[in-house]
């Protein structure tokens, strides 16, 4: 399948994309629509593993419970799923891999990126479904699904604020990990609002771990006003900080104090 126009630009439903090399030897895409790269130029793969697989402690969850339910906000080029499956295969024994039950649900507005992932992001493990095994379904919302034994990959297509509530009627569990990885609050504000974080809370339990690359004070204040308990962590490489959140525990008083200024606005839907 040819995904390029006559000028060799990648053409998606949301406009043009350009392939960008990153420092860890992996590539990312620049979105003209959002005027932003999908990943850090310091390392697309390494950043994804650091912020989400490690940030949400998914290996620990898998080893303790033999199952893990993951929600990824922003499929991008499929690195979230790839990093997760790679990490499981590197760290878990064959017996643990066979027993492991995992459901990985990703949200994506531009189905072009899924086609790009099929051609450019390889899932090597025999234990997990690949992007090439995805089949499309229309109900209860347009989505792609692939299953191999007790492991399932699902990608919901369209506006995440609509697709997730519609699809969630089928779910009989809450997510253990949330990879909050859309384009930045300035470029894609609708997935950083109080309403969005309250929605995510509906699909979370007391020990759910949410992780995001953003250290924006407005994002952190919005999480707090949405009922999340935030914590400050070292960011990826040159980025000073990133944010983790859960629904249990206490917020560091200094961190909370720093968000009290009226100049820091809670992000809400218009």
- Two tokens, residue 36: 């932003």
Looking at every residue in the chain, the average pLDDT score rounds to: 95
174-187 pLDDT, tens digit per residue, is 999 999 999 999 99
Dist CA 83 CA 50 (whole Å): 9
Q: Which residues pair with 73 in a beta bridge?
A: 107, 180
Q: What Å distances lie between residue 256 and 107, 260, 264, CA to CA?
A: 30, 7, 12
Quick check: 6 pLDDT over 80? Answer: no
Q: Name all domains of the chain by residue range, CATH numbers in brackets.
A: 43-257 (3.40.50.150)
Q: How many residues does the chain have?
A: 270
211-233 pLDDT, tens digit per residue, is 999 999 999 999 999 999 999 99
Quick check: 49 pLDDT over 80? Answer: yes
Residue 170: per-residue pLDDT: 80
Burial of 139 (0-12, 13-18, 19+ CB in 10 A): exposed
Residue 4: per-residue pLDDT: 63
Q: What is the mean pLDDT of residues 112-120?
A: 96
Could you identify the residue written with the tokens 């470029």? 187
The string of DSSP letters for the chain reads ---B-TTS-EEETTEEEEEEE-TTS-EEEEETTTTEESS-TT-HHHHHIIIIIITTTHHHHHHHHSEEEEEEE--TTSHHHHHHHHHHHHHS-HHHHHH-EEEEEEEES-THHHHHHHHH-----SSS--GGG-EEE-SSS-EEEEEETTEEEEEEES-HHHHHHHHHTT--S-EEEEEE-SS-TTT-GGGSSHHHHHHHHHTEEEEEEEEES---HHHHHHHHHTT-EEEEEE-STT--EEEEEESSS---HHHHHTT--TTSPPP---
**How many percent of the chain have pLDDT more than 90?**
91
195-210 pLDDT, tens digit per residue, is 999 999 999 999 999 9
Quick check: 126 pLDDT over 80? Answer: yes
Quick check: 5 pLDDT over 70? Answer: no
Residue 91: per-residue pLDDT: 95
Q: How confident is the model at residue 152 (pLDDT cuts 50, 70, 90)?
A: very high
């Amino acid at each position: 399948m040819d995904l390029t126009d006559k000028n060799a630009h990648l053409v998606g439903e949301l406009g043009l994309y350009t392939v960008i090399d990153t420092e860890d030897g992996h590539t990312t895409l620049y979105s003209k629509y959002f005027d932003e790269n999908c990943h850090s130029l310091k390392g697309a793969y390494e950043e994804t593993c650091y912020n989400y697989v490690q940030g949400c402690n998914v290996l620990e969850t898998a080893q303790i419970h033999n199952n893990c339910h993951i929600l990824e906000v922003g499929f991008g080029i499929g690195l979230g799923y790839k990093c997760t499956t790679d990490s499981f295969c590197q760290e878990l024994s064959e017996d643990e891999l066979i027993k492991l039950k995992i459901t990985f649900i990703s949200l994506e507005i531009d189905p072009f990126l899924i086609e790009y992932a099929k051609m450019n992001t390889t899932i090597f493990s025999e234990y997990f479904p690949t992007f090439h095994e995805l089949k499309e379904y229309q109900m209860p919302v347009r989505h792609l699904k692939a299953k191999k034994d007790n492991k399932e990959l699902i990608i919901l297509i369209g506006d995440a604020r609509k697709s997730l509530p519609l699809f969630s009627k089928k779910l009989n569990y809450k997510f253990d990990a949330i990879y909050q990885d859309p384009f930045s609050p300035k470029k894609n504000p609708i997935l950083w609002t109080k309403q969005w974080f309250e929605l995510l809370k509906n699909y979370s339990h007391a020990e759910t771990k949410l992780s995001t690359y953003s250290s924006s004070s407005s994002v952190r204040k919005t999480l707090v006003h949405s009922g999340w308990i935030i914590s400050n962590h070292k960011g990826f490489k040159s980025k000073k900080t990133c944010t983790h959140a859960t629904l249990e525990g206490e917020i560091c008083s200094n961190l909370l104090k720093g968000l009290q200024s009226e100049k820091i606005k809670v992000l809400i839907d218009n």
